[in-house]
Amino acid sequence: MSRNAESTAFRSALEVIRAVEPRVADAIGAELTDQRESLKLIASENYASPATLLAMGNWFSDKYAEGTVGRRFYAGCQNVDTVEALAAEHARELFGAAHAYVQPHSGIDANLVAFWAVLADRVESPALKKAQVRQVNDLTEADWFALRRELGNQRMLGMSLDAGGHLTHGFRPNISGKMFDQRSYGTDPATGLIDYDRVAEAAREFKPLILVGGYSAYPRKVNFRILREIADSVGATFMVDMAHFAGLVAGKVFTGDFDPVPHAHIVTTTTHKSLRGPRGGMVLCQPELADQVDRGCPMVLGGPLPHVMAAKAVALAEARRPDFADYAQRIVDNAQALAEGLLHRGAKLVTGGTDNHLVLIDVSGYGLTGRQAEQALLDSGIVTNRNSVPQDPNGAWYTSGIRIGTPALTTRGLGTAEMDQTAELIHTVLTQTTAGANADGTPSKAKYTLDPGLADKVARQATDLLATHPLYPSVDLG
């Protein structure tokens, strides 16, 4: 697509929107401006291509398409079948997966589909067998009562939230923590690394139905071959949530023992983050779980979003191009350069560095909480998010860490030299921010002091750093 065509497409879309609700059009334009001017370091965010963005704004949004390809509960879904089949085909080829289910609306939806697929596959009961051959809506209350008794209190072993796991891996406030009798494995207190012997010991003691691998804030590779061996040793299904690092798997940066797809029974992911697609989810699985996974709608999901599946097909097609592998490698190169720049300036990093796309800074060394650091950086034009560190004394709300990632800046074309400059800006802000106090004089975990002049200076420096790497250079809204 030419630059002129992309500009015309987005300009025309905004004109149509403005004619109905100008405030929405203004907010869309303002969001592009904000993203162009901000140093985006949120590890879970990225920039989708114009083609992916445009694929979501079309008539597929008007279609109901419950069911799967060729087996819909609504007529007239032949075009939805086309885009869903294309997205699944690209996913299978990209990841070397036996089966792909591209309907989940988000990562948590993908995980729920996976959980229920495993439960339905593994737990034997008369009611469950009945559910496998009848529509869910046909089950009686007695059937559901029997199912609840059989499916309740099954066990899950996943990475703890403060060690870098995700809230959908059994965190109590999340539905996963309510569905399962859950236990967490952490990391070695001295190194911050996964201790596989301790994971094996916990699995032998707890005997989970599901062993979950994957993370949202663990800055190292995970050996999925070892985790599969642990799962096999206790008869557990091995599930991996690769939402954060799917782009590194797709780009063949993570291979062998570090590629989860050949080792896991079932793999879930989002399609944005490092994969650089639309916001959504996806499930990859071995053949024996395919039928259960394809029951995601209506078991867990509502109607699929055909316009998002179309965008998934576009993004996955882009990820199969040779230049995506180069992009994925640059993500890691940039993350390691950013980590080195911070370490050189005296920052304390969880695990002492990174093997992937993210860096976790323990900001307690600056005398700050994660919440104070997050806001001070935002005041300075640097967008990050606070995050727990192992054994975090400040809990999951205030935290003691800042998580930063390189997928978005890498998409903009920034390289290792700019990562060192970014490290300098971060370090400058954090060293010049001081913790505040509450009205009664007690230390505050939220209040802080930062010279507004310094914040403005850093924000200008961040804008200057980005100026030579414009975001969506092909899009001019006029």
Q: List the catalytic residues.
A: 64, 66, 241, 270, 273, 279
Are 212 and 202 in contact by the 8 Å Cβ rule? The answer is no
Question: Could you give the 3-state DSSP secondary structure of residue 387?
Answer: strand
Distance CA 102, CA 87 (A): 7
Residues 6+ apart with CB under 8 A from 32: 471, 472, 475, 477
| Type and span of the H or E element at 405 | strand 401-405
| Type and span of the H or E element at 55 | helix 50-55
* Tokens found for residue 89: 């085909």
* Tokens found for residue 51: 């083609």
DSSP state for residue 14 in the 8-state scheme: H
| Largest interatomic CA distance in the chain | 69
Distance CA 2, CA 247 (A): 26
Q: Give the amino acid at 49.
A: S
Distance CA 282, CA 297 (A): 13
DSSP assignment string, 111-159: HHHHHHHHHHHH---HHHHHHHHS-GGG--HHHHHHHHHHHTT-EEEEE
Distance CA 204, CA 433 (A): 47
Peptide bond preceding 298: is omega within 30 degrees of 0, i.e. cis? yes
Identify which of 233, 185, 235 has the alpha carbon closest to the alpha carbon of residue 209. Answer: 235
Distance CA 184, CA 163 (A): 9
DSSP assignment string, 214-230: E-SS--S---HHHHHHH
Distance CA 314, CA 428 (A): 40
The position carrying tokens 């609306």 is 105
Around Cβ 56, how many Cβ atoms within 10 Å? 20
Q: What angle do CA 82, 321, 220 make, to 5 degrees?
A: 110
Identify which of 153, 276, 286 has the alpha carbon closest to the alpha carbon of residue 208. Answer: 153
* Tokens found for residue 66: 């419950």
